[in-house]
Amino acid sequence: MVRFILFFLVSNFVFSQSYFVYVASESDDTVSLLKFENNEINEVERITVGTYPTEIEGPHGITVDPNGKFWYLSLAHGNPFGKLVKYSTESNEVVDETTLGLFPASMQVSTTTGFLYCVNFNLHGSMKPSTVSVVDPVTMTEITTITTGSMPHGSRISPDGLFQYSVAMMSGELFEIDALGLEVNRTLDLENKMMKNDGMKSMDGMKSMDEMKSMDEMKSMDGMKHSMVKPTWVIPHPKQNLAYVAGNGSDEVIEVDLDAWKVSDRFKTGKGPYNLEISPDGKLLIGTIKSEGKTAIWNLDDKKLLGEIKNTTSVSHGIAISSDSKYAFISVEGIGGEPGIVDVISLENYQLISSIEVGKQAGGIAFWKQDNL
Amino acid sequence: MRYIITILFFIFSIQINFSQNQTIESNLNGLVLEVGDTFMPESFVKNFDGTTRNCETIIYYNKKGVFNVGGSIVQDPSTGKIVANEPGKHEVVAVCVDSRNNGDRLSQTFIVTVNYTKTKSVKIEVSDEAFAGSYVPLTYKSVTANGNERNDLIANINSSNTDIVSVDSNGLVKALKKGEATLTVEVDGVKATKKIKVKDSPVISLNISVSSNSVRTGDVVTLSSKMLGNKGKEINNLNPTYSFHGVSFDGSSSASGLVKENKFVADVSGLYTVNAHFGNVTSSTKIKVTDRDIKRDIVQLGTGDVFDKHTSDAWFFEGVDGKDYGVSGTFFDGKAYFWDVTDPTNITKVDSIKVDARIVNDVKVSKDSKICVITKEGASNRKNGFVILDISNPSDVKVLSEYTDGLTGGVHNVFIDNNHVYALNAFGNPAKFEVVNIEDPKNPKGVGKFELELGSAIHDIWIEDGIAYTSNWKDGLYIIDVGNGLAGGSPSNPVAVANYKYKTGANHAAFPFKSKSTGKFYVVLGDEIFPEGVDFFAANETTGFLHFVDFTDLKNPKEVARYELPGYGSHNFWIEDDVVYAGMYNGGVRVIDVSGELLGDLYKQGREIAAFKTGSPNGFIPNNTMTWGSQYFKGHIFYSDFNAGIGALKLLDTKPDNSNTMQFTTDKSFDSLFGAKNLLEFFEILASPPID
């Protein structure tokens, strides 16, 4: 009996963990700090963000500094430019801020350069090339902007910290930026030139592929290419020289061989894959299937779908994965007056295990830390 | 290559980390440049033991960032050289990215001073003739060796003969008596001189006259003067300056007012002396000012309560069926409500519509009352724009179509004019409005747009007589021809006519009106300022005011007056028959008399006719008035309140009963206040030297 009690205490001491994530609510100008422990997620604090008094500023992207001391938030709407705001994880208070471009969105800090790379999504008006802002987060200075494609999204850094990847949603390209040289290194067209008609139409109501005579017809009247793939996210593999792209318009995941710099595989998903993340152990690929309000989990060894979990409400958005690869935290936007939701999904049995309401249109989500209880 | 780099990093990363004891040394340290200079930076890492090494990659940047860097200091990427473009002390950051830093940051900020090139010459502008007793306007600039003009340097200004021309400690120059003197302006060791000839004033006598000696507060008095020279000859080519002083009838209040050019207006009742000056010759006259006395009672007739969410804009109109209706937007869940307001004492909700949006900020109705347009922000698919509704039967509203092209970022305000919707894309760059033809409301078509300069802002739009008035925060007011013909504009080809900016930089709304009483054309510009930010779930502080700009001459707008309510800020407003109906946020609805010529501070002048606080004990934030806007419609004042919904007010003919409040004395009380037996004696008692 004594042995059992000791085992129980020790196992609890060893295995009980608490996990912390930040999630931004785009239509509420709030960020929620959430704590997940004992299979239950709770809101620790709701932080009001934004400085422009009369508008919803739209907190969109969120990331935590590799040192864990700060979190960074992109405010999409400005007058007209958006902002990057730096917060202390200790106090959740503003430390500093800087102006970025139009609709700054997703971002990440390179462990090698220490710089933060944030895409300026610019969803306003006609399509034209936008930029990636490079920020020194110590001085909170936007030190340069690098022009990429139309509606860049999904800024993620290679494991060695030397390259930044983003996709251009409207022009359908993958961009690799030299994180040291601060310039575009390579560009890859993600369109599937072998693709035949499968009834697919873009969200803009464009003609399906068989209605087009050539790829040139994918250019709209404004002369800009409107991608059929409509990539919304890219995530480099933590251990292999591969990257995975969410084809939001083509309902597929695209695997890119970073050595050969070409598409090495494509596999179908549900309707509207949006964000992708890979578990830190490199085994699982997790994707939000935005249009269906689901989260999908694939085994990266064989690309087999391990589970497809219905999220608590509609419009599944972002993904954060615990550093021990056990849990995925999914932000779900909701529609209209519905609150945002964060769902916790077990990456061991692929089941929804807890949910919490946060502010409206929950989007950007970032894993902060894992503590022993 | 990627593997090699990774391996190299791995190898280096196991080295001992000395970076905490390392510094960056650079020839940027203490660097002083002149504007236009270039400089090649050379930097290296100094280890704790004094040894040095080069950095694998070193990046230089201006701490002010890319959006401010244009004119100050930059690194030319093609040469690596620092280029000094603007004077000042610039912070140049050098960041060393090197695997030997072992993940630690190694950076250093260097102050680089960029100086102007030295002054080569000084330009001065001053009249070479002046009359004794007059101040002499003087301006100066220094011109640097590379041609830059500077007006930021303080000059030493001296007169060669201070009995003729004096220079005071503020650098103001005054002509004292007949003679000649030379002014010397010295900047940066470089001098410029100008000889001034002082002549005797030609004005021997001066006689001021006023358009009225007895007026109310806020009434503008025109001042004129007759100046006579030698042999009584009238002088017409010179102008005097005017000033005033006064004594309030209320002993605890100060007389106050304003003289601007040849106009005088008083804020409080009292006896005022206005003066005309030319050189050392002065003339004065008295003006009696009584209270404006225009207060009227106001009562609330009814309300349309919305307590579970915020209410935004509202619009009131006569429906196709002849009954009266209102439509209001909301925050949080994309709803708009339709109200029957035919009987303002019994406002009834008759329908609602829900769209995919978080905020329906603005609502507008077409003149024929068949079409309503509501705006969208915060749509779940991030395709915002606006929605066109069929409101032929406001009790059964139907969605006709939705328009999002170029407006996906969100539409904050719209206006309907002549079968076109003007919709603001407030968050785009450039900021712009899109013009959409709705002749076929089921198939709206974009026909034009108006874009402001990059980096500009746009917030609201109002259209009258084919002229669009856009409110643009720091960029002020734009007046745009969209069909008036004034500048050849049309809905598909909007043409800017005028732009007016002002200091508060918070232009949120604009309303044009032609004064019925004077024929002058004004545009009233409203601020919106939340000094402490906005909390949607608590009471908020507001400030800002209404700016009255005389646009009678479109090319020469003049801001002449303001309505500033102490402690409360302005929002949306309506003007009809020389009366402003203002939604002053936590100040409630304010009814303001803007008849006659306008000058100065309208609130202080007692031009407020009535005030009503629109909050509700059951409001979204209880007892918190937050009047969004108001509209004068069929003899009633309709309003929307952020926390309470909509309501109707009525201005009565009766005056407020102030019998229990302290009364100010008026002209009837002269004797008791000042002991004078008649008005003439009263004037003598108050007579005092004119203000120079």
CB atoms within 10 A of CB B196: 23
Chain A residues closer than 8 Å to B508 by CB: 54
> Mean pLDDT lowest for which of A163-167, B483-487, B592-596?
B483-487
Q: pLDDT at position A15, please?
A: 58
* CB-closest option in B427, B457, B508 to A124: B427
Indicate the pTM of the whole model.
0.68
Q: Is the pLDDT of residue B7 over 50?
A: no
Residues 6+ apart with CB under 8 A from B82: B28, B33, B38, B39, B40, B41, B60, B73, B74, B75, B76, B92, B112
* CB-closest option in B65, B97, B357 to A141: B65
Parallel, antiparallel, or unpaired: how do β-strands B573-576 and B579-583 relate?
Answer: antiparallel
Q: What is the enclosing helix (H) or strand (E) of B326?
A: strand B324-330
B353 CB near a chain A CB, below 8 Å?
Answer: no
Q: pLDDT at position A218, please?
A: 43
Q: Is the pLDDT of residue B426 over 70?
A: no
B597 closest CA partner among B546, B556, B552: B552
Burial of B252 (0-12, 13-18, 19+ CB in 10 A): exposed
Q: pLDDT at position B452, please?
A: 82
CB atoms within 10 A of CB A98: 21
Beta strands in B341-397 (DSSP E): 348-354, 363-365, 371-375, 386-390
CATH architecture, range B2-115: Sandwich (2.60)
State the average pLDDT over residues B289-310: 96
* Residue type (1 letter), B386: F
Note which residues in 362-401 of chain B have CB less than 8 A from chain A: 377-378, 380-382
Q: How far is B94 from chain A (nearest CA, A)?
A: 11
Q: Do B63 and A99 touch (CB under 8 A)?
A: no
d(CA A139, CA A67): 16
B340 closest CA partner among B314, B318, B365, B373: B318
Count how many Cα atoms sit within 13 Å of the Cα of residue B199 in the half-sphere of its side chain: 7
Q: What is the enclosing helix (H) or strand (E) of B5?
A: helix B2-13
ipTM rounded to 2 decimals? 0.79
> SS3 of A6, please?
helix
Give B298-651's CATH code, choosing from 3.10.28.10, 3.40.50.970, 2.60.40.420, 2.130.10.10: 2.130.10.10
Chain A residues closer than 8 Å to B529 by CB: 53
DSSP labels for A8-30?
HHHHHHHH-EEEEEEEEETTTTE
Q: How far is A1 from chain B (nearest CA, A)?
A: 48
Q: How far is B595 from chain A (nearest CA, A)?
A: 32
Residue-wise pLDDT tens digits, A195-223: 543 433 333 333 333 333 333 444 443 45
Residue B224 phi/psi, 5° resolution?
A: -140, 160
A56 CB near a chain B CB, below 8 Å?
Answer: yes
Q: pLDDT at position B682, please?
A: 54
Note which residues in 435-464 of chain B have CB less than 8 A from chain A: 455-457
Q: Do B63 and A141 touch (CB under 8 A)?
A: yes
Q: Do A335 and B359 touch (CB under 8 A)?
A: no
Q: Is the pLDDT of residue B620 over 80?
A: yes
A98 CB near a chain B CB, below 8 Å?
Answer: yes
Q: How far is A79 from chain B (nearest CA, A)?
A: 6
State the average pLDDT over residues B577-585: 98
Chain B residues closer than 8 Å to A314 by CB: 380
Q: Do A258 and B95 touch (CB under 8 A)?
A: no
Residue-wise pLDDT tens digits, B161-203: 999 999 999 999 999 999 999 999 999 899 999 999 999 999 9
Burial of B692 (0-12, 13-18, 19+ CB in 10 A): exposed
Chain A residues closer than 8 Å to B62 by CB: 141
Q: What is the side-by-side strand order in the sheet with B73-75? A: B38-39, B82-84, B73-75
With the C-alpha atoms ordered B430, B433, B438, B441, is the resulting torsion angle positive or negative? positive
d(CA A316, CA A331): 6
CB atoms within 10 A of CB B233: 11
Q: Is the pLDDT of residue B413 over 90?
A: yes
Q: How far is A156 from chain B (nearest CA, A)?
A: 17
Q: How far is A360 from chain B (nearest CA, A)?
A: 9
Q: Do A259 and B103 touch (CB under 8 A)?
A: no
> Where do you find CATH 2.60.40.10 in chain B?
205-290
CB atoms within 10 A of CB B684: 10
Residue-wise pLDDT tens digits, A100-149: 888 899 999 999 999 999 999 887 656 678 899 999 999 999 988 899 98
CATH topology of domain B205-290: Immunoglobulin-like (2.60.40)
Q: pLDDT at position A297, please?
A: 98
The residue with tokens 């400690």 is B169
Bridge partners (DSSP) listed for residue A263: A256
CB atoms within 10 A of CB B427: 30
Q: Do A80 and B431 touch (CB under 8 A)?
A: yes
* CB-closest option in B356, B429, B528 to A336: B356
SS3 string, A152-191, reads EEEEEECCCCCEEEEEECCCCEEEEEECCCCEEEEEEECC
Q: Do A125 and B428 touch (CB under 8 A)?
A: yes
| CATH of region B119-199 | 2.60.40.1080
